[in-house]
Amino acid sequence: MALAEHEIAERDRRRIERHLREARLLPGKTLENFDFDAIPIVYRAHVSALCAGDGWLRNGANLILMGPPGDGKSHLSSAID
């Protein structure tokens, strides 16, 4: 029984690592070093609410970030964990 549980946990760990690798998130990007003042269209309160109420993440729901180039979509998607 313990061997089966270990195998399941290991598969889950490898799956998460694979998905993170495929996502090609930017290293070192955090919400603390995101310049909310430089991009006024992005509201700190909205981003904080997304991070605090992370039920969407636990449930496997998607988060879609849309906007023109330079609006911080890649930074935010890398920082939200």
AA identity, residue 46: H
How high is the pLDDT of residue 81? Answer: 67
**How many H-runs (helices) and E-runs (strands) does the chain carry?**
4, 0
Which pLDDT tens digits describe the chain residue by residue (81 residues)?
A: 788 899 999 999 999 899 888 988 888 899 899 999 988 888 898 888 888 877 887 888 888 999 899 889 999 988 886
Q: Tell me how far apart the alpha carbons of residues 9 and 64 are, in angstroms, rounded to a whole number.
A: 28
The total of structural domains in the chain comes to 1
* Residue-by-residue DSSP string for 40-56: TTS-HHHHHHHHHSTHH
pTM above the 0.75 mark?
A: no
Range of the domain at 17: 2-79
